[in-house]
Every structure is written in structure tokens, then in C-alpha cells.
Homo-oligomer: A and B are copies of this chain.
Amino acid sequence: MDTQTHTSPALTPDVIDRFIEAAGPGGALVGGRDDLEKYLVEWRGLYRGETPLVLRPGSVEAVSAIVKIAAETGTPLVPQGGNTGLVGGQIPDASGGQVIVSLERMNKVRAVDALNNAMVVDAGCTLQSIQDAASEIDRLFPLSLASEGSCQVGGVISTNAGGTAVLRYGSMRDLVLGLEAVLPNGEIWNGLTSLRKDNTGYDLMRLLAGAEGTLGIITGAVLKLYPAPKATETAFVAVRDPQAAVELLARLQDVSGGLVATFEIIKRSGFELVLRHFEDAADPFSDPHQWYVLVELTAGTDGWLRGVLEQGLGGAMEAGLVLDAVLAESETQRQALWALRENMSEAQKLEGASIKHDVSVPVSRVPDFLDQATRDVEAAMPGIRPVPFGHIGDGNIHFNLSQPVEMDPQAFIGQWQAMNDIVHGVVARLNGSISAEHGIGTLKREEITRYKSDVALGAMRAIKQALDPKGIMNPGKLV
């Protein structure tokens, strides 16, 4: 590590000392002296970077001081939250010339306001701690992710993370009322308003949200809260095909007035992997079916929601969309149904190598997408096992491909780009997105130039250049 300290012309020992001072007491970890490993390696081990310095400022003023030094010296900064991102956006490059700014020490819930349905939080709060703080005042913070115990709010905002509740509540960009951030010139932007309506100019908040740290460092946020649901009804439903699933969603939204909180599609192939690898998993139906949906409705009062769900499912059964359905009769049964969906990734891992896609298409085109993508990858590689699942209500399918049973895992992984090309080609034909919720980072930075219009990319670059003319904010990511 020490040998790389000086590969960046900007990062002299003097500059490092200035950064350390700006970060304040206990605010810096130095390579050689401290163990920086956990900041340098992405959790799956797919991305690894180098840095001589991890800064852990404890206040927005300290972040501002750090960014001002970076702007003056031209030192690239890499903002990092809980280091749970899937596209490498939070990892520095290999040069050793980029400095990590971790927000982990800014982890206070600053204020909660039940009447305004809002809370003000530091960027370093974990998502779980936010959910808990909301729950304490009988409110819901709806965003939920597998990594919620460790991912941090600043990262969740910067990546515009999604999850299983987007259908009902939107993704993170929709759940922010205000932001505090340090812009690339070191200025502190206090946009911590908690207003439902504020029509005074460009939407800087939603511009920084999803910018993956390339336009500034988010240090705090005002988040929207919702009434905590008091009633939940969950069903595991066998549907005729994906088209029937889409039509079932429309029916359930119609009869419930939009109370569908979860609507996840599962194919028999993935379902069987779960049954094979998890001994607690049981097929709720006596007959095998090709497609399933996990559906959940939530509401504020109890006593009528089950009737609404039964009415919707009954009508869909008469229409031939639904072949069979089970409704959870208890929280234990509910969790068992959810496990069928949640253990999908783990089950797939136990089947060998897999190639993953995080894509979206218009909800009404999901059936076409599943048809065409399945046909195309099977034509390209006989024996490949598509295991599509995901948030059909958002048009967001995790189109994952398990290797052919007899194939060498490394040889299969070698086909990653070829499979990407096939699947992303189908997505492009259906006016979809090649990154529905994981972002761009370094993983898709080249790929995106093939699928996003030059006009949009040009506008993005112009904005980046305008706000960060020195290119110090997370260079090499997104734009």
C-alpha cells in the first residue's frame, strides 16, 4: 500500500496531513497504520481498490473542509456508505490516488416529526435504524432491502435504491423530502426542507439522488414517513402465465384502490431450486404450476382487507388467470410464503455459477420480455437455466441465468458479456432499462453508452462538468 501512496501527483504527504486534520480527531484511518481492508473490497469480492486514506468526518463542516482541500489539490474523493453497492460505485480505483470519505460516523437520527410524517437523519444511519426510528413513532419508512442492516442512507439515496416496496411507495428518490450535501466546490447546500410542496426552481434534490456521489457528498436527508400498516394479507398464487400475472396485478390494484404492496413473480424453475435446497420449503399446492406470484396487500385498518384480496383473486380465477391460491392464515405461514421468494438467490448460488441481470421493461411488456429473453439465451446456450424472478409490479425482473448442469462454472462466467448482450438487446427493443435498481457504478459505465441516448449522456456530462469542473467527485463512475 505504501508504495502506492504517491502514485497520484496530488496526494503528497502534506496533502494527506491536511486531510487528516480536516477530518478531525479520530476521523482518519491511514494505510499501513490502520486496516483499511473493509473499505477497499466490495462485499462479494468483485471490486477491489486501493487508497492510502479513509476519512471518517463527524460533521458536515468536516466534510466541507475535506472537499475544499480536494478541490484545491485536485484529489479525487470516493464517498462510501455501508459498502453494500452491487456495481462498484463505492470502491476507489487501483491507483491509490483516490481518498475514501466514509459517512459512517455521521449516524444520528436528528429529528422525527410524526405529524409532518418526516424525519431528519444523518447520511451514515443504517436503513434498519431508520426503519426502527420510524416504527417507534408508529410510522413506516417503506424502503426495504436485503442489505438494510448495513447499508447507509447516504448510499441508498445516492444510488436511488429500490427494493420490494417500490410498487407502493416508490424508490429512494421518491422518498426524500430534503437533502444536505457538500457540493464539489466544498460548499454546504442546506436543502433540509420537509415540505410537501416547494416550487422554487430546479430539483437539485432529485439530481443528487441517484448521482452515485458524482455531484457531491450527501451528508443528511429529510425522509418521508407513512402510516404504519395495521393489516397485511399475503397470498401465494399459481397463475396461468406471466400475462395472467400482469392482468392479476391490474385487477388487484383496481379492487383495492392501489393497496398492493408486493407483487413478485417466480418461475417454476427457481421455485424448484428452493424446494431442493431448503428443507423447510414446501410446495403449497398439490399440483405443479409453471408460474407463481407472491402478493401482499397492506392497509391501515383490519377486517376488510382479506375480503378485498379474496374478491380480486376470485374474479381472476373465474377469468382463468389464477389456477390456485393460498392465503397466509398466520404470521408463521406468511413468513413461510415469503421464504419461497427470499431464498431464491441463495438456492441459485447452490446450483453453481450464475449470470445476473437487473433490468426493467414497462409492466405490460414483462410477458414479452420473459418470452424473448428466455428463447434467445436458450438458443445461444443449450442447457442454460433461466431463473427469472422479481418485482413484476415495477417491471423489474432479475433475469438470472444458472449454468447448464454439466458446464464448468468458469467457462459459464466467461459468457457473461455475451449473455448480457442478448438480454440487454431484448430490453432495448422493449424500451426498457439495463439497470433497474442497482445503478451504473463502474460495472455498467461502458455498457450504458450503448443503450442510453447520446443526447441524454451529453446532458449528463454537461451537468457533471458544470458542478464538478475539476472532476474530483467519484471519478470513473456513472458518467
Mark A residues whose CB is within 8 Å of B: 113-118, 138, 159-160, 162, 166-167, 171, 173-174, 183, 187-204, 206-207, 209-211, 215, 226-231, 246-247, 250, 253-259, 298-301, 303-304, 308, 311, 360-365, 391, 393-396, 431-440, 444, 448, 451-453, 455-460, 462-467, 478-479
Interchain CB contact under 8 A, A115 and B258: no
A474 to B: closest C-beta gap in Å: 13
By a CB distance below 8 angstroms, the chain B residues around A210 are 199, 201-203
CB <8 Å contact, B197 and A202: no
Q: Are B433 and A360 in contact (CB under 8 A)?
A: no
Q: How many copies of this chain?
A: 2
Taking a contact as CB atoms under 8 Å apart, the answer to whether B195 and A361 are in contact is: yes
**How far is B195's CA from A395's CA once the two chains are assembled, in angstroms?**
7
Q: How far is the CA of A452 from the CA of B193 in the complex (A)?
A: 11
Q: A191-B456, A202-B207 are in contact. Are A197 and B258 (CB under 8 A)?
A: no
In the complex, the answer to whether B433 meets A193 with C-beta atoms within 8 Å is yes
Residue contact B171 to A174, C-beta cutoff 8 Å: no
Would A300 and B195 count as touching, CB distance under 8 A? no
A257's partner among B174, B299, B436 (CB-CB below 8 A) is: B299
Q: How far in angstroms is the closest Cβ of chain B from A50?
A: 27
> In the docked arrangement, what's the CA distance between A303 and B462, Å?
54
Q: Are A189 and B257 in contact (CB under 8 A)?
A: no
Q: Is the CB of A197 within 8 A of B463?
A: no
In the bound complex, how far is the Cα of B77 from the Cα of A289, in angstroms? 59
Given that A115-B364, A197-B166, A301-B311 are contacting pairs, would A203 and B173 also be in contact in the complex, using a CB cutoff of 8 Å? yes
Say which residue of B159, B298, B363, B448 sits within 8 Å of A117 (CB atoms): B363
User: What's the nearest-Cβ distance from chain B to residue A361, in Å?
Assistant: 7
A431 to B300: give the CA distance in the assembly, Å: 30
